[in-house]
Structure 1
Amino acid sequence: MASSKESEESEAFHWHFPELEDIHFEIHGKTLYYFIALFIVVLLLSLLVIYWRWFRRCHRDNPTVTSHAPTPPRPQPRGLDPAAIRALPVTLVTNAAVPETDCSICLVKFEDGDKVKVLPQCQHLYHSECVDQWLSTESSCPLCRSSIQIDSDLPQIITQ
């Protein structure tokens, strides 16, 4: 009895639903034409958008392509003048004279005989090469960010 009940339950459960099939679905005449026309329009618009993005990306920095929009001004360099960087005092490291143990830029310990530059206001020490490279792009102390500016009339460094 149990086996006949199991066979009835397995027959009652259908994996195939013929009522959901649409075997009479057909596209005729104008409907097929409209589907093809819609597909072509969508395809052409997609290709046009892709081409426009490619064109904008390739010609963004090209000066020969004229644009109606004004170009924004380039930012002024924020670093110090090379003459001002050379004007910073350079000292030789001795163990007794240097309170700091390493350069805050490259994180290498100061050794006897190293050339270091001392920033005027904050008195922070850095290897000459490290701070020269830093000051060519920035006009502040790398550690405390105190500003270093140049007075154009006087050849000396003014700190703020």
Structure 2
Amino acid sequence: MGSLPLSEPLRWPYAEFDEKIFQIHSRLRFSIVVVCSISIIATIIFFYTRWICRFSASNPPAPSDSAIRHFPPEPSPRRGLDLAEIENMPIVLYRNLSAGGGKFHEAECCICLGLFSAKEKVKVLPPCRHCIHSECLDKWLSTQSSCPLCRASLQVDSPV
């Protein structure tokens, strides 16, 4: 049997590099520490501020007696019409265009989208002449003060 030839030790190509290339200089090390410290402090401040805002929003301070006396709450604007104003609107019988009346042009209620039938009770809004089922309009005007179709105002402003 033949003897195996002795091979030379392996030479790594990286042995030729100088280790000074891989050293981190002191200025760079200091800069990295400063940037990391600033990032950590900014994160802590962010979460602390968020916690403070959430805590103060859930527990608003109670108004003092002097603030209540000097600044009374403003009255909220009235949204709907009064029941008396709603009941005073005229109720008419719907007449179809093909029936020869020709007074009303709508064929369906703009609130419930139901078709009008001949001789059905509808209310006609004064400013815009739109006709709507009486029951639908009563519910609408209890929360809104305008025509549901064209948004014309139905409130009579006071002369004050």
TM-score by length of 2: 0.55
Question: Aligned letter for 1:134?
Answer: W
Contact 2:109/2:131 (8 A) holds in 1: yes
Whole-Å separation in 2 of the counterparts to 1:112 and 1:33: 85
Of 88-97 and 32-41, more deviation after overlay is shown by 32-41
Choose 1 or 2 for highest CA Rg. Answer: 2
Match of 2:12 in 1: none
Aligned length: 129
Contact 2:94 2:120 survives alignment (8 Å)? yes
After superposition, give the CA deviation of every residue in 1:89-141 in whole Å (9 maximum; x if it has no partner): 22333544563312233332102353311223433210123222332233233
For residues 21 and 134 of structure 2, the distance between their equivalents in structure 1, rounded to whole angstroms, comes to: 82
Distance 1:33 1:90, change over 3 A: same
- Return 5+ residue gaps in structure 1 as ranges: 1-17, 153-160
Is 1:83 the counterpart of 2:84 in the alignment? yes
Give the TM-score normalised by structure 1.
0.55
Residue 92 of structure 2 aligns to a residue whose secondary structure is strand
Percent identity of paired positions between Structure 1 and Structure 2: 36
Alignment of 1:93-132 (within 5 A): 93-95=94-96, 96=99, 97=101, 99-100=104-105, 101-132=107-138
- Root mean square deviation of aligned Cα: 4.1
